[in-house]
Amino acid sequence: MDRIRIVGGNALNGTIPISGAKNAALPLMIASLLTPQTLTLENVPHLADVEQLIRILGNHGVDYSVNGKRDHQNGGGNGYSRTINFTAENIVDTTAPYELVSKMRASFWVIGPLLARLGEAKVSLPGGCAIGTRPVDLFIDGLQKLGADIDVDNGYVVTRARNRRLRGDRYVFPKVSVGATHVLMMAASLARGETVLENAAREPEVVNLAECLVAMGARIHGAGTSTVTIEGVDELSGAKVRVIPDRIETGTYAMAVAMTGGDVLLEGARPDLLQAALDVVAETGAEITPTNAGIRVRRNGAGISPVDVTTEPFPGFPTDLQAQFMGLMTMAKGKSRITETIFENRFMHVQELARLGAHITLSG
């Protein structure tokens, strides 16, 4: 799409079905590398990143098939979510090349399952990224702790498990990382013995992945808390798992309604996945009501109040809603302060909002 033209001035009213979460679908798809059997994922959103990951997994030998075209179960899916079967019966290549990994950072995560199942992997470093440097040191540290030998050579992370199998250990993340938690949880599921991950990410997508791994036969406790214990098993089987609703999409629409006024039902949305963000939206003056069908967001008449926000790992206010919230705050009656603590370069929208007439000062 080259251009989106918006004629402003209307309140938003109606029902929006919330899609499956991209950030949950990607690690679940990658988990299919852990087993020769079929992993069926329901409520997979129809997005460019999903198509790109299908290509990347295909390069390793993963076959896929799509069941039907639409998925209306639970009201979720925007009419575009699908059920997709992934089968990694034969892994034909343990290398993830730069041309593919550089297109989507999360594809680096294949390193975990490839190493755990085949004892080796060669995965390109993801390369530059618009929201900061985003290093992979935690992945390397953590996998080394599980017994992997790792070299970084010509832009590739080349790794082998000693005796072709990882072994469990205790790893304390020096910093909370969603991706590194996903990877170490997948890797430890097939390692010999017990792994304890401390200071693990608590994001709902980590819980969704743990549920998937458990359905595949993994032994995992504590996902969703900062200590996750994984008792390694010899092999994993197929399973059928549903992708959780997208909390970022939910929060984005909630903020849109808070901005324009109106009355919208976010169908299939789960308040527990973004309570901190919903509390903030309520503080700005919108009315948030969880219902059996999802979340209803309303704002009638009253102005928008300024609220200060700091991004944090889950259960705090998510960095992925920071830009949208700044949009909302440009319309507030008064001053607000927004602090980004997760990514060092995630204020590129400031200049663009300023061009539209917003009064924003960047400090630090």
Q: Which residues bind ligand UD1 (CB under 6 A)?
A: 23, 26, 106, 132, 134-139, 175, 177-180, 205, 319-320, 342-343
Which tokens belong to 289?
A: 């009501």
Q: How far apart are CA 254 and CA 261, in angstroms?
A: 10
- Sign of CA pseudo-dihedral 8, 12, 16, 20: positive
Q: In a 3-state reduction of DSSP, which class is residue 171? A: strand
139 φψ region: left (φ > 0), alpha (ψ -120 to 50), beta (else): alpha
- Nearest distance, CB of residue 361 and ligand UD1, angstroms: 23
Of the pair 178, 264, the CB lying nearest ligand UD1 is at 178
In total, the chain counts a number of residues equal to: 364
Which residue, 35 or 322, is less far from ligand UD1 as judged by CB?
322
Catalytic residue among 48, 66, 92, 129: 129
Min CB(339)–ligand UD1 separation in Å: 14
Whether the CB-CB separation of 210 and 199 falls below 8 Å is answered with no
Q: Which residues have a Cβ under 8 Å from the Cβ of 283 and sit 6 or more positions away?
A: 305, 307
- Give least dist CB 109 to ligand UD1, A: 8
Longest CA–CA separation in the chain, Å? 67
Number of residue whose CB is nearest ligand UD1: 179
Q: Smallest distance, Å, CB 38 to ligand UD1?
A: 23
d(CA 179, CA 181): 5
Which are the contacts of 99, defined by CB distance < 8 A and separation ≥ 6? none
In the complex, what is the shortest distance from the CB of residue 168 to ligand UD1, in angstroms, rounded to a whole number? 20
Q: Give dist(CA 210, CA 281) in Å, integer.
A: 30
Q: Which residues, 6+ apart, have CB-to-CB distance to 8 below 8 Å?
A: none
Nearer Cβ to ligand UD1 (175/221): 175
Is 212 among the residues known to form the active site? no
CB of 234 to ligand UD1, least distance (A): 28
Please tell me the number of Cα atoms within 13 Å of 166 on its side-chain side: 39
Least Cβ distance, residue 165 to ligand UD1 (angstroms):
23
The per-residue b/e assignment along 258-271, b for 16 or more CB within 10 angstroms, e otherwise, is: bbbbbebbbbbbbb
DSSP string, 245-314: B-HHHHHHHHHHHHHH-EEEEEET--GGGSHHHHHHHHHTT-EEEEETTEEEEEE-SS-PPP--EEB-ST
Sign, CA torsion 215/18/323/296: negative
* Rounded Cα distance, 287 and 222, in Å: 33
| Catalytic residue IDs | 129
